[in-house]
Amino acid sequence: MIGLHMDHVIHAYEDDPPVVRDVSFDVKPGELVCLLGPSGCGKTTLLRLAAGLEIVQQGQISIGDKTVGLGETGHHMPPEVRGVGLMFQDYALFPHLTILENVTFGLTDSNGARYAWARDSLSRIGLGGTINVYPHTLSGGQQQRVALLRALATEPRVLLLDEPFSGMDVTLRANVREQTLTILKETGVATLMVTHDPEEAMFMADRILVMQGGRIIQAGTPQETYFHPANPFVAALFGPINELSGTVQDKAVKTPLGDFETPAMADGTEARIFIRPEGLKMEYSGEPLPDDAGEGYTARVVSARMLGRSSHLRLSFAADAYGTEIDIQARIPGAFLPASGSTITVWVDPNQVFVFPV
């Protein structure tokens, strides 16, 4: 059973080069898939194609068992009969309609049961007392949840969300996305959500589709994309990352922070080595050290800054092979603020190291 299916979709605006380049994926009922990528990579265009707001030029889009767009024939099913729910960035509620009228806006008389669903859902998310008030009396987070119910009221097979939390502050965002996830998992709708925030994608998604320049360059679970990035772009997508260079010798690259195995790379290959700041461990970090941690590597503390939930350290490693010092950033949970100029012993979690050929 398929919720949403895209097959070799290509899309260009007018005579410009394509902004969606041969994209294929599906979203199963009950699954939440996130499109993650930088601004301009084609995420919103993909949602608009799925919604029917853009006509498919090449490739095929299906929803359920129906082809809703087919480039070769020009077949195009209009948005209102596709069975999609939409919530775009500026999800404004209708100001002159009550909360209940907003949620039930798209329903016809034949949807009697859905009016009951609307009242019931509003109660369950703590908004039962607001059904007869107007949107301006609700907070931003409450309005967002009402907009989500409005998108779900017609029982869409596919829900399309474009950066739905972008207007919210950090704390509100965290609450609202958790509640959104609960609501979506209850409905079992196939959801395609766009975000440029990797943490949000990891929190929400069953699967992440990483986009770059109109293509999906990696598809996988949050764990797969975070721990097994397919290339440097994906490795760097989840926040600042340290980069070193080296040459493969005896199936490994040597660095001042240890030797990292490269079983798939031929000796002599020039390599880029990426180490996540959270991959550096020190005795303070409270996690058990791996058995093969050895004696660790000595670093000089250049600076230590408190970020709240974690501390940011800038470390310098003496690097004989490089003839120069290597500057590395580390992120340690909690408050760990060693004095500048002091020396500490550091280990690297090999799961947080990624080596790619240049």
- Contact residues for Mg ion, defined by CB under 5 A: 44
- The distance of closest approach from Cβ of residue 44 to ligand ADP in the complex, given in angstroms and rounded to an integer, is 3
- The distance of closest approach from Cβ of residue 164 to Mg ion in the complex, given in angstroms and rounded to an integer, is 12
Residue 258, interface with ligand ADP (CB under 6 A)?
no
**Strands (DSSP E) found in 138-289:** 158-162, 190-195, 207-212, 215-220, 242-249, 252-255, 258-261, 270-275, 280-282
Residue 45, interface with ligand ADP (CB under 6 A)?
yes
CA distance 147 to 138: 12
Task: Count residues binding ligand ADP (CB under 6 A).
Answer: 10
Other CB atoms within 10 A of residue 344 CB:
19
Residue 195, interface with ligand ADP (CB under 6 A)?
no
Closest CA to 83 of 183, 7, 1, 152: 152
Residue 130, interface with ligand ADP (CB under 6 A)?
no
Residue 42, interface with ligand ADP (CB under 6 A)?
yes
Residue 108, interface with ligand ADP (CB under 6 A)?
no
The entry of ligand ADP, Mg ion, none near residue 227 (CB within 5 to 8 angstroms by kind) is none
Residue 13, interface with ligand ADP (CB under 6 A)?
yes
Q: Given candidates 43, 114, 173, 276, which one binds ligand ADP under the rule CB under 6 A?
A: 43
Residue number, 84 or 248, with CB nearest to ligand ADP: 84
- Three-state DSSP at 194 gives strand
- The distance of closest approach from Cβ of residue 315 to ligand ADP in the complex, given in angstroms and rounded to an integer, is 35
- Crossing angle between the packed helical segments 170-187 and 140-152, to the nearest 10 degrees: 20
- Using the 8-state DSSP alphabet, how is residue 104 labeled? T
Closest CA to 262 of 278, 276, 245: 245
Instruction: Give yes or no for a contact between 153 and 97, defined as CB atoms under 8 angstroms apart.
Output: no
The encoded tokens of residue 35 equal: 């499109």
Q: Given candidates 5, 32, 44, 187, which one binds ligand ADP under the rule CB under 6 A?
A: 44
Residue 40, interface with ligand ADP (CB under 6 A)?
yes
Residue number, 88 or 347, with CB nearest to ligand ADP: 88
Interface region with ligand ADP, contact rule CB under 6 A, candidates 32-40, 98-106, 153-161, 277-285: 32-40
Burial class (CB in 10 A: 0-12, 13-18, 19+), 113: exposed
Interface region with ligand ADP, contact rule CB under 6 A, candidates 35-43, 129-137, 251-259, 304-312: 35-43
Task: Please give the C-alpha separations between residue 178 and each of 34, 141, 174, 184, in angstroms, as whole numbers.
Answer: 15, 12, 6, 10
Q: Given candidates 1, 15, 17, 39, which one binds ligand ADP under the rule CB under 6 A?
A: 39
Interface residues with ligand ADP (CB under 6 A)? 13, 19, 37, 39-45
